[in-house]
Amino acid sequence: MTTSHGTKAENLSDAATGTDTTAEGSDSTAQADYAQERETTEGRVYTVTGGDWDDVLEDAVHDERIVINLGPQHPSTHGVLRLVLELEGETVTQARSVIGYLHTGIEKNCEYRTWTQGVTFVTRMDYLAPLSNEAAYCLAVEKLLGVEAPRRAQVIRVILLEINRISSHLVALATGGMELGSLTAMTSGFREREEALHLLEHLTGLRMNHAFIRPGGVAQDLPDDYATKISEFVKVMEKRLPDYDKLLTGQPIWRNRLKDVGYLPVDACLALGITGPVLRSAGLAWDLRKVEPYLGYEEYDFEVPTDTAADSFARYLLRLEEIHQSLRIIKQAVKKLEPGPVMVADQKIAWPAKLSIGADGMGNSLEHVRKIMGQSMESLIHHFKLVTEGFAVPAGQVYVPVESPRGELGYHLVSDGGTRPLRVHVREPSFVNLQAMPAMSEGGMVADVIAAVASLDPVMGGCDR
């Protein structure tokens, strides 16, 4: 779909010269008022005209006020969020968010891939919490299939999700500090995040976009030294986390910069559908791991931290405390890991060829390839068809939510009984939470808009999916 601007200037030019644009008949009127269409080899294409922001923002024009664009190139909006602000002096009188600069069409692309291949798409939505997307998507597929991942696979998923939650919250602290001028917070946050990403790489093979959680379980078992590596990570985090209290929590500049900024009470959160740390900072202990447990979270002993200040400082404190709680869950999960399979036994879902690593650290070893090729021709054909065509999922639709670092991340999947999804739709917390930006910013200073947006911690990859 292409967009054409400048129609207003043409109309003004016609009016000045006295040209009657409607004299040509209804065709030209239709062209001015409606989208033009043409047939292509890819189907029908529409050309939409007009829609300029000058028209949209006409109601924001006042003598004593100025309308500015904050972004999409502004560093504090991470390059892909545009805020249109109406200012009176330095006070924000109207704020609007403009999204779509990172649109990827992931939801639509999933309709053209098998159910297993869909994992490699959804993991790229919220790229700071890829494992939350994988887990929610796979739980939804498993619900349609009527299967449940083995016990060991579920515990592995919990470990990975909590490590991922820690790394995501560290990015929120780091980028929030960077945007407000605290470079030490930024360098410290990314330093600790590297520890989390190194561990995830050791456990899954990739730092991000893992595609490790698969329908039916996980791609492969954890390496032999997983317990040692996880224990080392927990020790490092428990040693370094108190430094954040020394660096930021008790720091009067940091405290004064965030206190009473981005205020959003609990009734406003509920009216806008806000979830995650933003909702809990307003006093409501709503965490899906507690209220609607999945993956056996009801077996773990942890707290859901809340606050009643409902401001940016409360959200900072909550994310810091949630890191402590995630470490608590990880230590319990490691003790719960018992020997067993990591994928369902159903050979119509699980790939017969188990993944193995060669001497060079990549691909399947020669011995394993010989084993696959040495089996019966039927098993080789079955494996080929399973990988290329995928497995069929019974017709139906489900909605499965999980608690991502930003709030309720829900997957609505629709199957028509085939090997590909009929529809994949995501209830993405960044998209929903961004609605709160005007309520948090209007009436405040323009400088506080940065602190308010940072406290929302939106990830535009999920927002624009």
Q: Above 60 in pLDDT, residue 32?
A: no
Q: pLDDT grade, residue 270 (50/70/90)?
A: very high
Tokens of 74: 């502004």
* Length of the chain (residues): 465
- Closest by Cα among 100, 38, 90, 45 to 64: 90
**Element at 412 (helix H, strand E):** strand 407-415
Any idea what DSSP says for residue 222? P
Quote the CA–CA distance of 239 and 94 in Å, as a whole number.
44
Give the mean model confidence (pLDDT) for residues 91-110. 87
Examine the pLDDT at 394 and tell me if it is beyond 80. Answer: yes
Spell out the residues 6+ positions from residue 115 whose beta carbon is closer than 8 angstroms to its own: 141, 215, 390, 391, 393, 419, 420, 421
Q: Does pLDDT of 169 surpass 60?
A: yes
Q: Is the distance from CB of 193 to CB of 172 less than 8 angstroms?
A: no
**Region 376-381 average pLDDT:** 68
- Given a cut of 60, whether residue 29 has pLDDT beyond it is no
Asked if 299 and 341 count as a contact pair (C-beta separation under 8 A), the reply is no
Angle, in degrees to the nearest 10, between helices 312-336 and 151-179: 150
- Our measurement of the distance from residue 143's CA atom to the centroid of its chain's CA atoms, rounded to an integer in Å, reads 22
pLDDT of residue 368 exceeding 90:
no
Q: What does the pLDDT read at residue 363?
A: 60
Kindly provide the b/e burial profile for residues 171-208, where b requires at least 16 CB atoms within 10 angstroms of the residue's own CB.
bbbbbbbbbbebeebbebbbebbebbbebbebbbbebb
Per-residue pLDDT at 15 exceeds 50: no
Share of the chain above pLDDT 90, in %: 42
Q: Is the pLDDT of residue 286 over 80?
A: yes
Dump pLDDT digits (tens) for 294-305. Answer: 999 999 999 999
pTM for the predicted model, two decimal places: 0.82
**What pLDDT, on a 0 to 100 scale, did the predictor assign at position 24?**
44
Provide the CATH number for the domain formed by 106-349+391-464 in this structure. Answer: 1.10.645.10
Query: Which residues, other chains included, contact 85 with Cβ-Cβ below 8 Å and sequence gap of 6+?
Result: 67, 68, 69, 70, 92, 94, 95, 96, 441, 446, 449
Answer with the residue of higher pLDDT: 44 or 227.
Answer: 227
Q: How far apart are alpha carbons 57 and 53 in whole angstroms? A: 6
pLDDT at 31 over 50: no
pLDDT at residue 5 in the model: 43
Least confident of 16-20, 265-269, 455-459: 16-20
Helices (H), 46-148: 53-56, 106-109, 118-122, 130-145
Predicted pLDDT of residue 23: 43
Query: For residue 12, what pLDDT band results from cuts at 50, 70 and 90?
Result: very low
CA distance 18 to 16: 6
DSSP-assigned letter for residue 445 = B
Segment 399-427 shows an average pLDDT of 93
Tokens representing 320? 């810091």
pLDDT of residue 100 exceeding 50, the answer is yes
Mean pLDDT of the chain: 83
Sheet hosting strand 423-427, strand order edge to edge = 396-404, 407-415, 423-427
SS3 187: helix
Is a pLDDT exceeding 70 seen at residue 365?
no
The residues, any chain, with a CB within 8 Å of residue 398's CB and separated by 6 or more, are 140, 143, 144, 411, 412, 413
Q: How many CB atoms lie within 10 A of CB 28?
A: 12
| Spans of all domains in the chain | 1-55, 106-349+391-464
- pLDDT average, residue stretch 217-224: 88
Q: Span 126-152, mean pLDDT?
A: 92
Token pair 């008949």 is at which residue? 25
Q: Is 142 exposed, middle or buried (0-12, 13-18, 19+ CB in 10 A)?
A: buried
Share of the chain above pLDDT 70, in %: 81
